[in-house]
Structure 1
Amino acid sequence: MTETSDTRAAGSAADPPRPGGLHRLMRYLPLIAPVLLWAVPCWLLLHAGQHWPLPVTLTGTFLFALGLVGMPFAMVRGHGRRQQDAAAIVGDSLLGGIWVLFTWSVLLGVLLRLALTVAGVADGEGRARIVTWAVLGVTAALLAWGYAEARRVPRVRRVEVQLPRLGAGLDGTRVALITDTHYGPLDRARWSARVCDTVNTLEADLVCHTGDIADGTAERRRAQAAPLGTVRATHGRVYVTGNHEYYSEAQGWVDLMDELGWEPLRNRHVLVERGGDTLVVAGVDDVTAESSGLPGHRASLQRALDGADPAHPVLLLAHQPKFIDRAAAAGVDLQLSGHTHGGQIWPFHYLVRLDQPAVAGLSRHGDRTLLYTSRGTGFWGPPFRVFAPSEITLLVLRAPAAGTP
């Protein structure tokens, strides 16, 4: 008995295993990443063989250092407790701008130098300056284009989706999907109204919003969200929460959407009936809801499908694509999601792919389940979209052709 006790005591006193190098790196990544974002372009554009006049080098270096210090400061004041919209706009714009500049500094810093070498351009100040001006030109063009893409009313993307269990009476059902509107520091009330006008031209049977309505509370962003009350649909307008609702008093957004005539599908379902056939339209809270601490907020597919006839096809609204594992296990026919923004600013989609099973478009998961991931209707943070255009989606549901097993 004594030996066992001593062994346990020794075991409990043993030092815990030390974290590996990768774990330590990830812990410091929030500190390392901003330094790299600003330091790499600064070095490549100002110090890597260009030999600019000293005032140019000093001024440029000072501006990069100012950005390194100012960007996190502005973002904290903009997105922290103070919620200062002007600071958020500055911080978000700096983040988007330096991400694009960093990306193309690295790409052109390598590829263009290689191309110039192959072309016989001697290494030296001339070649370095060609690279610098090319990087600045590409960055400026992409940011101008990306800003216009972010602020425009999204194009309508039409997608036909065949669901083997869909009854013939529901063939041709039109489902309009908007998501990730992210009403925020930049006032987009007019943009919101134009988006809703575009949705109304689609003459949808069902309109869905799969979350991340805004950044900020419902009271603060009410004017931007108000046009959602004008959206029309034959069979209803349904909504589920996204993770950003849980940063901004989620229940307030649920209440406002209800007030605007949208039906919040908080772990519940409604039925769409047409031509003698029935479609189950279910929704779940975002997967982050449970950790928010709000009473009654959590994702439960079991509750959402409780009482639904298992013979009927199921259309599920879930904000994040990674809910698809649970949806496929439950035999859901089609899940609609957003969250990813399609990466929003290339090549960020490679990082999104580490967390989500799909970034954009239609994908199959398991034998029955399809997932449609929208690139989002608005934008989060940086007011830019580069190679990841926003969308309003019209999904046309198709029943199997007669005689198809």
Structure 2
Amino acid sequence: MTDTSDTRPADGAAAQAPRPRSRVLRLMRYLPLITPVLLWAVPCGMLLHTGQDWPLPVTLIGTVLFALGLVGMPYAMMRGHGRRQEDRSAIIGDTLLGGSWVLFTWTVLLGVPARIALTVAGVGEGQDRARIVTWAVLAVTALLLAWGYAEARRVPRVRRVEVRLPRLGAGLDGLRVALITDTHYGPLDRARWSARVCEKVNALDADLVCHTGDIADGTAERRRAQAAPLGTVRATHARVYVTGNHEYYSEAQGWVDLMDELGWEPLRNRHLLLERGGDTLVVAGVDDVTAESSGLAGHGAHLAGALRGADADHPVLLLAHQPKFVDEAAAGGVDLQLSGHTHGGQIWPFHYLVRLDQPALAGLTRHGDRTLLYTSRGTGFWGPPFRVFAPSEITLLVLRSPRRAA
């Protein structure tokens, strides 16, 4: 394994024009105002005030609880994720956010069609139908939240994927690449979970282990105990890491320094050469696409800098946190990009919103004539401690050469 590049961006990269903000990002600035009202008011109206005629105490208590959620959720999230950085408040706010999202989703998707179906079938009177639907929505919500919490907190299953790279030399056939990403160590202490994840990675006996960013929510100093088990990860050739967007909310350079201290190679617009059996693989990495706007000196996603000095005949494996970087990767002749960021949507149907901003949600996709993109659903979770129809994963990618021996 040879290091043949540096962290400096390509000449003129600093003068590149900033990326235009997508329509989704422009709309998202209004979400903090609109979202809480929708998440709490819609279920309150449909489950308590539309046709059920509940006893007055039930209606009053239920309305008060929804009102407390409407006020308490943004308040707790501001205290938890704002300047105060109070972990207990963050846990409360994030849990309320996830719970209200699931309740809102199934109030709309189950509640409305169920009322129509019961009416057409002639089941019960109006009030009875409304109450049946209310109990059904609450039951489905409770089951999904219990299941989603268990899914979020468990050690991820290993997902094994074979990837055929036409330019991969026969000496590199069968190269084992383990991918973890989006561990998001945060307000919920997951030090034991982190250690168990690392044990599972070590059991894969990987040649190369990659972390494609979003290590934690919080500074390296604050989340050090949860991240420390990453230092126990083993790889035959190298352990490599690139920054995610959440590092740039939490003193990114501190995370780069900590990963270096733990024995990982931060691939900040640079590459390594992985050599085996007389063949070579270029393993490159770029900072997250949000790095340039962070104001941190020397941080920015620069593919030209990452590949400077690399032999154009060698296949390239690129680490880039966000799948959207694949357009540049394809233009630059990258063979395989590894990414995370999407969490696979984390809580359905948020999947569809993610797809508005990213070219892939999860799995292996092709972009252009040469470039493959593998998008992991993530190893941990962000914010709400739930995963609904978006299981976490540790990925083992086995690289295959068309010239391998039979």
TM-score range, shorter chain: over 0.9
Please give the residue correspondences for 1:3-402 in structure 2 after superposition, counting only pairs within 5 Å.
Answer: 28-401=30-403
**Aligned sequence identity (%):** 86
Q: Secondary structure at the match of 1:370?
A: strand
Q: Shift of the alpha carbon at 1:121?
A: 1.0
**Hey, what's the Cα distance between the residues in 2 that align with 1:71 and 1:268?**
42
Uncovered stretches (5+) of structure 1, i.e. residues with no partner: 1-21
The 10-residue stretch of structure 1 (26-35 or 326-335) with the greater mean CA deviation from structure 2: 26-35
In structure 2, what residue type is equivalent to 1:55? P
Q: Shift of the alpha carbon at 1:32?
A: 1.7
**Hey, what's the Cα distance between the residues in 2 that align with 1:84 and 1:322?**
32
Q: Structure 1, residues 338-360: CA drift from partner, whole Å, max 9, x if none? A: 00000000000100001000010
**Hey, what's the Cα distance between the residues in 2 that align with 1:315 and 1:27?**
35
Q: Secondary structure at the match of 1:354?
A: helix
> How many residues matched?
383
Q: Structure 1, residues 87-127: CA drift from partner, whole Å, max 9, x if none? A: 00000000000000000000111221122123221441110
In structure 1, what residue type is equivalent to 2:62? G
Q: Structure 1, residues 245-268: CA drift from partner, whole Å, max 9, x if none? A: 000000000000000000000000
Q: Structure 1, residues 289-312: CA drift from partner, whole Å, max 9, x if none? A: 011100100010000000000000
Q: Secondary structure at the match of 1:353?
A: helix
Contact 2:170/2:405 (8 A) holds in 1? no
**Hey, what's the Cα distance between the residues in 1 that align with 2:373 and 2:199?**
26
Uncovered stretches (5+) of structure 2, i.e. residues with no partner: 1-23
Q: Secondary structure at the match of 2:272?
A: strand
**Hey, what's the Cα distance between the residues in 2 that align with 1:353 and 1:252?**
31
Contact 2:169/2:403 (8 A) holds in 1? no
Structure 1 length normalisation: TM-score? 0.92
**Hey, what's the Cα distance between the residues in 2 that align with 1:386 and 1:339?**
16
**Hey, what's the Cα distance between the residues in 1 that align with 2:31 and 2:362?**
27
Q: Secondary structure at the match of 2:356?
A: coil
1:13 alignment partner in structure 2: none
Contact 2:287/2:302 (8 A) holds in 1? yes
User: Higher Cα Rg: structure 1 or 2?
Assistant: 1
In structure 2, what residue type is equivalent to 1:271? L
Q: Structure 1, residues 36-86: CA drift from partner, whole Å, max 9, x if none? A: 110000011101111111011001001101100010010000001100000
Q: Structure 1, residues 201-238: CA drift from partner, whole Å, max 9, x if none? A: 00000000000000000000000000000000000100
Q: Shift of the alpha carbon at 1:399?
A: 0.3
In structure 2, what residue type is equivalent to 1:56? V
In structure 2, what residue type is equivalent to 1:270? L
**Hey, what's the Cα distance between the residues in 2 that align with 1:229 and 1:25?**
40
Pair 1:25–1:279, CA change in 2 (3 A): closer
Q: Shift of the alpha carbon at 1:25?
A: 7.6
Q: Secondary structure at the match of 2:150?
A: helix
Considering Cα pairs closer than 8 Å and 6+ residues apart, tell me whether 1 or 2 has the greater RCO: 2
Structure 2 length normalisation: TM-score? 0.92
Q: Structure 1, residues 137-182: CA drift from partner, whole Å, max 9, x if none? A: 0000000000000000000000000000000000000000000000
Q: Secondary structure at the match of 2:357?
A: coil
Q: Shift of the alpha carbon at 1:397?
A: 0.2
**Hey, what's the Cα distance between the residues in 1 that align with 2:269 and 2:30?**
37
- Report the RMSD for the aligned CA atoms in angstroms: 1.6
